Homo-oligomer: A and B are copies of this chain.
């Protein structure tokens, strides 16, 4: 079955190059505000031409969305804490999420941008929704694994919201270093985790 293999190879090569572009974008996003990253820069960073970018993505928005998707998948993996010996703790879940956001402010910027802002195509909107839903499912699963049983979905919604809010409120805390912010946001995450762990069953 040589044809299949050839097709597979081509697909792999395509995925590889797509990944090169993706990584280039991620690298730039780590350096600067995502709204100020240009196609030209991404192309240069990826070592391809501008046109090639558009060979893999119909426009910049879709590329950004893909970056976002990739990050979301990474978070999902990180939140996969099911260890038979030590069952996942809710605090641990919150810590992982907030740590990721601290390390990847671009992800959070993008989430804000896409959720609040822009005109997305129907297709892009669907993709975004899927991403967010998957992320939410993961949070819910983590909650379930952590022992929460009642009002699971609603609790997940509220917790997810609460965690997201931490960053918007403290990403720019006056006169604090990155490290201070990390500590403070993690502390808030811990509080929220505890609050939800004890309060949810009877109240929601």
Query: Binary interface profile of A, 64-90, with partner B (CB < 8 Å = 1, else 0)?
Result: 000000000000000000000000000
- Among the listed B154, B161, B198, B200, which residue makes an inter-chain contact with A203, where contact means beta carbons less than 8 Å apart? B198
> Bound complex: CA of A114 vs CA of B168, how far in Å?
9
Instruction: Name the CB-closest residue of B to A35.
Output: B117
Q: Indicate whether A170 reaches chain B with its CB closer than 8 angstroms.
A: yes
A157 and B181 CA atoms in complex are apart in Å by: 13
A196 at the interface (CB under 8 A from B): yes
A199, CB-defined interface residue at 8 Å: yes
Indicate if A188 sits at the interface (CB-CB under 8 A): yes
Question: Interface residues of A toward B: which range?
Answer: 35 or more
| A45 contacts partner chain B, Cβ-Cβ < 8 Å | no
The answer for the CA separation of A114 and B35 in the assembled complex, in Å, is 13
Q: Is the beta-carbon distance between A174 and B125 smaller than 8 angstroms?
A: yes
Q: Is the CB of B168 within 8 A of A116?
A: yes
7 other A-B residue contacts (CB within 8 Å) besides A161-B165, A195-B203: A161-B192, A164-B165, A191-B203, A195-B196, A195-B200, A195-B204, A199-B199
Q: Would you call A112 and B157 a contact (CB within 8 A)?
A: no
Q: With an 8 A cutoff between CB atoms, is A144 at the interface?
A: no
Residues of B with C-beta under 8 A to A192 = 158, 161-162
